Amino acid sequence: MSNDVPDSVLDRAHDHAQRYLHGLAARHVGARAERDEMMAALHEPLSTLGEDDSSVIDLLAGQAETGMTDCGSPRYFGFVIGGAHPVALAADWLVSTWDQNAGIHAISPFSAAVEEVAAEWLLDLFGLPNDASVGFVTGGQMANFTCLAAARHAVLRRVGWDVELDGLAGAPRVTVVVSAATHVTIDVALRYLGFGTRSLVTVDADDQGRMRADSLRDALATVGGPVIICAQAGNVNSGACDPLREIAEIANEMDAWLHVDGAFGLWARASAELVPLVDGIEKADSWSTDAHKWLNVPYDSGVAIVKHAADHRAAMSASAAYLIQTSGAERDAIDWVPELSRRARAIPIYATVRALGRKGIDDVISRSCRRARQMASILQSAEGVDVLNDVVLNQALVRFADSDDVTRAVVTGVQAEGTCWVSGTTWNGHAAMRVSVTNWATSEHDIELSAAAILKVYGVELHNRIH
């Protein structure tokens, strides 16, 4: 292809994007098509001669209309997702346009500088040590992996073992502690690192999903040798945060590495009113978080932060003669993340943090939590509706008629009704509806509309059961 780019296909994509975004707030939130319908529209034998660019774009945009749940809708409350702030999306369009390989400095001094500054701002925003190292990865999963790789390196180095050179076979045993409410991505990250799930020490969690510090102390009482403790800020169901100051003290006494999975909970540090919830988090050795959740940048964007830069680098660094093109003062992203080639995903982070500022980010975070409380309080005021968790962050867990069947039916009914989208879960053995408010644009009115729709579905469900 020549450099002479036909404008039409890009204009076409831009039109589709604009139309989609303008209609987003009014759309039926859930997907309205199933696999069969999508496959019927999309599945063709591999083309030999290809097709016109614009018609391919039109086809995709047409199917996306019904085939997607609108995760960017201000009334999307499923999982912990977040939308895309306009400035983040605009920056992301340019990231694809520029198509920079952000792995090494020599290719793109621009992307490298943006990363360096974005890293500095995030550390400042979270109140973490300003000499901590930062890697921009795809999400919380890879952030947990990166941080725990640094942890594995550090705790073994301290007992004279180089895991990067000698591997785990024959290494001193590392005790890895998780809680009963740990996110599944911690287990997966540990698996990638050679710590099988059955080998983990699991500490009890309380009724909100917080690791119990007393149980942690008991679990470690008889343990010697290297220890890694995995704590959490922001339980994916309840939003609860582990008692991090107490856990950090225990970690300190044991000379253990403390990792905090703060996929969304770390953002509490950016809100003046929420800071007490994550008190002591700054004492950890590593932190993982997502930008594609609460900062509302497009997928995929996670951040791995490590207090001990040398351990982080030792666990991740890739050096080969053909890659090193710099004098040494420059920062090569490949030293801090698992990938080699990758998109310049710090650019939308830079743009969003710069455009919103400290105050704007605080607003997004604290506002989401107010909206979650608003939702909980409207729902709870209806007869037979219980909120099962303390709504301390952006998550509410709701149960209907104290019944698993009714609760599950309400979740399914709400998804089909389309005003909003919620997901289901099991909490302390009971079915619950999960409401997660993570979108920058969710208004009070969105919550009122959604709560009314949820209660209407609940009313119909009760009525059907009686008749």
> Rounded distance, CA 162 to CA 149, Å?
12
CB of 398 to ligand PLP, least distance (A): 19
Give residues with Cβ within 8 angstroms of 38, minimum separation 6: 63, 67
> Rounded distance, CA 152 to CA 154, Å?
6
Nearer to ligand PLP, 247 or 409 (CB): 247
Q: Which tokens belong to 461? A: 């469900």
> Rounded distance, CA 210 to CA 225, Å?
26
Residue 437 near ligand PLP by CB under 6 A: no
Could you tell me which of 100, 172, 152, 83 has the C-alpha nearest to residue 308?
A: 152
Nearer to ligand PLP, 30 or 140 (CB): 140
Give residues with Cβ within 8 angstroms of 112, minimum separation 6: 102, 105, 330, 331, 332, 333
Among 115, 242, 290, 362, binds ligand PLP (CB under 6 A): 290
Are the C-beta atoms of residues 73 and 24 closer than 8 Å to each other?
Answer: yes
Q: Which tokens belong to 231? A: 């704590």
Residue 413 near ligand PLP by CB under 6 A: no
Cα–Cα distances in angstroms (integers) from residue 307 to residues 134, 267, 406, 432, in the given order: 9, 18, 47, 37
Which 322-351 positions form the footprint of ligand PLP (CB under 6 A)? none
Are the C-beta atoms of residues 349 and 136 closer than 8 Å to each other?
Answer: yes
Residue 302 near ligand PLP by CB under 6 A: yes
Among 92, 242, 246, 261, binds ligand PLP (CB under 6 A): 261
CB of 302 to ligand PLP, least distance (A): 5
Per CB under 6 A, the segment of 258-266, 360-368, 386-394, 448-456 that binds ligand PLP is 258-266
Angle, to 10 degrees, between the axis of helix 140-157 and the axis of helix 309-316?
110
Determine if the peptide bond prior to 131 is cis (ω within 30°).
Answer: no
Per CB under 6 A, the segment of 134-142, 159-167, 338-346, 394-402 that binds ligand PLP is 134-142
CB of 131 to ligand PLP, least distance (A): 25
Among 82, 103, 139, 413, binds ligand PLP (CB under 6 A): 139
CB of 303 to ligand PLP, least distance (A): 10
Count H helices and E strands in the chain, helices first. Answer: 14, 11
* Contact map string, positions 206 to 245, toward ligand PLP, x by CB under 6 A: --------------------------x-x-x---------
Among 76, 136, 257, 264, binds ligand PLP (CB under 6 A): 264
* Contact map string, positions 157 to 196, toward ligand PLP, x by CB under 6 A: --------------------------x-x-----------
Per CB under 6 A, the segment of 28-36, 260-268, 396-404, 452-460 that binds ligand PLP is 260-268
CB of 436 to ligand PLP, least distance (A): 9
Which 56-115 positions form the footprint of ligand PLP (CB under 6 A)? 80
Beta strand 286-290 with 302-306 is antiparallel
Strand order of the β-sheet with 201-203 is 133-137, 302-306, 286-290, 257-261, 227-232, 175-179, 201-203
Per CB under 6 A, the segment of 205-213, 259-267, 410-418, 422-430 that binds ligand PLP is 259-267
Are the C-beta atoms of residues 444 and 392 closer than 8 Å to each other?
Answer: no
Nearer to ligand PLP, 206 or 404 (CB): 206
CB of 212 to ligand PLP, least distance (A): 18
The residue whose Cβ lies closest to ligand PLP is: 140
Among 74, 83, 135, 140, binds ligand PLP (CB under 6 A): 140
Nearer to ligand PLP, 80 or 123 (CB): 80
Count, residues near ligand PLP per rule CB under 6 A: 14
Cα–Cα distances in angstroms (integers) from residue 207 to residues 204, 390, 403, 432, 467, in the given order: 10, 10, 19, 14, 36
Among 95, 122, 263, 372, binds ligand PLP (CB under 6 A): 263
Q: Identify residue 144 by its one-letter amino acid code.
A: N
CB of 181 to ligand PLP, least distance (A): 9
Could you tell me which of 453, 463, 429, 440 has the C-alpha nearest to residue 379?
A: 453
Nearer to ligand PLP, 180 or 324 (CB): 180
DSSP state of 163: H
Nearer to ligand PLP, 183 or 373 (CB): 183
Residues that bind ligand PLP in the complex, under the rule CB under 6 A: 80, 139-141, 183, 185, 232, 234, 236, 261, 263-264, 290, 302
